[in-house]
Amino acid sequence: MTRAITSTAGDQQASGATRRQFFRSFVAGSLLLPGIMHELLAEESASGANIDPLAPRPAHFPAKAKRVIFLFMTGGVSHVDTFDPKPKLHTDVGREVKLDHPEIQNRPGYEHIFLKRPQWDFHPHGQSGTEVSTLFPHVAECVDDIALIRSMHTDHSNHYNATLGMHTGSFAFARPSIGSWVSYGLGSENRNLPSFVTIAPAQTYAGSQVYASDFLPGAHQGTLVVPGDEPVANIAPRVPLTRQEMELATLAKMNRRHQAERPDDALLAARIKSFETAFGMQMAVPDAFDLSRETDATLALYGLERGSNKGYAWQCLVARRLIERGVRFVELIDTGSSGNWDSHGDMMDHARLAKNVDQPIAGLLKDLKARGLLDDTLIVWTTEFGRTPFNNSADAKGREHHNWAFSSWLAGAGVKPGIVHGETDEYGVRVAKDPVHVHDFHATILHLMGLDHQRLTYRHSGRDYRLTDVHGRVVHELLA
């Protein structure tokens, strides 16, 4: 039995040690997510300035979007083969161009570079007439709900740096992910589920940094979900529920007694709540990933076979279920068995990759719209950079990295539907009108969530940091 806490330091120390031992026994014996619980225990010695890091917070101004689903196509999708039609690449194919491009300068065999034609045709779709290539026939059906950006550009042509930049706003140093910033700014709508979830079959370039919280409180780090038989590790209780409830009741009694001696310890109250949340996750997480009650029609909409627990269709459907349950930010990274979009050797790889994601993404858009969820959910589709409209020969099968121009799109809450923003030059080499940098992209996403990117800051090492660093502007032309 644990002794009652007295006013003496010695007794407090002894009782505290016993209580900590009980915590660790409870965690090891029956709780889920050892990494999360280790973090909660570590926070016992942290500052109490942020009493409850996941408590809901008011936005800076009325928000259009309550939540984000971030679709990331890792590897570099070719804009001139997907969302940015360039007829001149067909008529001028084989023409030599002189460019001091970061991917080919001083590279043996690239002393001469030539325009390369797209390998897929483009057609107008919807009432908006937005042109999309035949790679994305299902997404093309949704163009009237999409704000397509054809003038994206970024700072780096290496996968690692560009991927890091698209997720954190920093191209060289580890910084908090955009999902962590959103969680930090707005808190959680459901304390039984993480506020930020990343679903990926495998790590992408920059690894766990794409969903890390870095210097933000650890509660805002993304929870990694890996499609398969056990999407969230150690979620199943290791002891019967009745015993676990008894453990929680005993722990609650000890906590109340401990707190009574420390009425001004706000962090203690938050820590107690954290253990209750972890218990709740054991119930909420399996329910969120249980697709058995989804109708055949819904599964067919996403292109998902009943019983399947893998693939981008599974990721998209689970994302809908998570945001329905209050998860603030869900990222779906396309790193499946099909490989990634880094098509140096053969652009025909894009055909297989597009087929893997096209129907699931369109299904997600249609499903959210039918359920009324698209009205307050922001869908973001992007990649880290584009691919060169040229190569060292006109008949080269692949394309190289291209950070000067690429395409992304937004849909849903607060987004002006059925528009095209910005344009590239006649060959898709450089942005020619209305450029949108990654910092501008981030500022716009935060704005739709009711967050001012200049005010959403965190003090670290004597400096106020923000997602957009000292850059970024909201692209108001994209807003409804």
Q: Is residue 128 pLDDT above 50, yes or no? A: yes
Stretch 266-286: mean pLDDT: 66
For residue 229, the model assigns a pLDDT of: 85
Helical segments of 31-128, H only: 34-42, 87-91
Quickly state the pLDDT bin for 3 (edges 50, 70, 90).
very low
Provide the percentage of residues in the chain whose pLDDT is more than 70: 82
Quickly state the pLDDT bin for 428 (edges 50, 70, 90).
very high
Stretch 121-144: mean pLDDT: 98
Q: Is residue 450 pLDDT above 90, yes or no? A: yes
**Cβ count near 38 (within 10 Å):** 13
For residue 28, the model assigns a pLDDT of: 40
Q: Express the helix, strand and coil content of the chain in percent, nearest 5 each.
A: 35, 15, 45
Backbone φ and ψ of 410, nearest 5°: -125, 155
**Cβ count near 355 (within 10 Å):** 16
Mean pLDDT is lowest, of 255-269, 287-301, 351-365, for: 255-269
Indicate the helix (H) or strand (E) that contains 196: strand 196-199
Task: Say what the pTM is.
Answer: 0.86
Q: What pairs with residue 68 in β-bridges?
A: 329, 378
Stretch 243-253: mean pLDDT: 71
For residue 364, the model assigns a pLDDT of: 98
Q: Is residue 14 pLDDT above 60, yes or no? A: no
- What is the DSSP secondary structure assignment for residue 4, as one 8-state letter? P
Distances (CA, A) of 291 to 227, 288, 308: 13, 8, 9
Q: Is residue 27 pLDDT above 70, yes or no? A: no
**Cβ count near 349 (within 10 Å):** 19
Nearest to 151 by CA among 477, 480, 458: 477
For residue 185, the model assigns a pLDDT of: 97
Q: Is residue 330 pLDDT above 90, yes or no? A: yes
Q: For the segment 339-396, what is each residue's pLDDT rounded down to a tens digit?
A: 799 999 999 999 999 999 999 999 999 999 999 999 999 999 999 999 999 999 999 9
Stretch 48-52: mean pLDDT: 52
Q: In the chain, what are the domain boundaries?
A: 9-45+238-280, 67-232+289-478
Q: Is residue 18 pLDDT above 90, yes or no? A: no
Q: Identify whether the C-beta of residue 114 lies closer than 8 Å to the C-beta of residue 99.
A: no
Q: What tokens appear for 206 in the block?
A: 């920059």
Stretch 271-289: mean pLDDT: 73
Q: Is residue 38 pLDDT above 90, yes or no? A: no
Between CA 343 and CA 335 the distance in angstroms is 14
For residue 9, the model assigns a pLDDT of: 37
For residue 284, the model assigns a pLDDT of: 85
Q: Is residue 270 pLDDT above 70, yes or no? A: no
DSSP secondary structure of 199-229: E-SS--TTGGGGG--TTS-GGGSPEEE-SSS
Q: What tokens appear for 37 in the block?
A: 């619980």
Q: How many CA atoms lie within 13 A of 14 on its CB side?
A: 11
Distance of CA 99 to the CA centre of its chain: 34
Q: Is residue 320 pLDDT above 90, yes or no? A: yes
**Cβ count near 340 (within 10 Å):** 21
Q: Is residue 41 pLDDT above 70, yes or no? A: no
Reported in sequence order, the residue ranges of 79-158 that DSSP labels E, i.e. its strands, are 96-97, 113-115, 122-125, 130-133, 146-153
Distances (CA, A) of 54 to 70, 133, 299, 346, 386: 20, 42, 33, 45, 36
Residue 1, Cβ density class (10 Å: 0-12 exposed, 13-18 middle, ≥19 buried):
exposed
Return the ∠ at Cα 87 (arms to 82 and 91), rounded to 5°: 130
Between CA 216 and CA 218 the distance in angstroms is 6
Cα dihedral 95, 96, 100, 106 sign: positive
Mean pLDDT is lowest, of 16-20, 57-61, 244-248, 328-332, for: 16-20
Indicate the helix (H) or strand (E) that contains 254: helix 241-260
Fold of the 67-232+289-478 domain = Alkaline Phosphatase, subunit A (3.40.720)
Q: Say how many Å lie between the first and final Cα of the chain, rounded.
A: 63
For residue 13, the model assigns a pLDDT of: 41
Residue 151, Cβ density class (10 Å: 0-12 exposed, 13-18 middle, ≥19 buried):
buried
Quickly state the pLDDT bin for 258 (edges 50, 70, 90).
confident
Q: Long-range contacts made by residues 1-7, C-beta under 8 angstroms, separation at least 24?
A: 2/254, 4/257, 5/257, 5/258, 5/261, 7/261
Quickly state the pLDDT bin for 285 (edges 50, 70, 90).
confident
Stretch 7-20: mean pLDDT: 42
For residue 412, the model assigns a pLDDT of: 98
For residue 232, the model assigns a pLDDT of: 79
Q: Is residue 193 pLDDT above 80, yes or no? A: yes
Mean pLDDT over each residue of the chain, to the nearest integer: 87
Q: What tokens appear for 374 in the block?
A: 């698209």
Q: For the segment 154-183, what is each residue's pLDDT rounded down to a tens digit?
A: 999 999 999 999 999 999 999 999 999 999
For residue 53, the model assigns a pLDDT of: 80
Q: Is residue 315 pLDDT above 90, yes or no? A: yes
Distances (CA, A) of 358 to 75, 188, 352, 355: 16, 30, 10, 5
Q: How many CA atoms lie within 13 A of 412 on its CB side?
A: 32
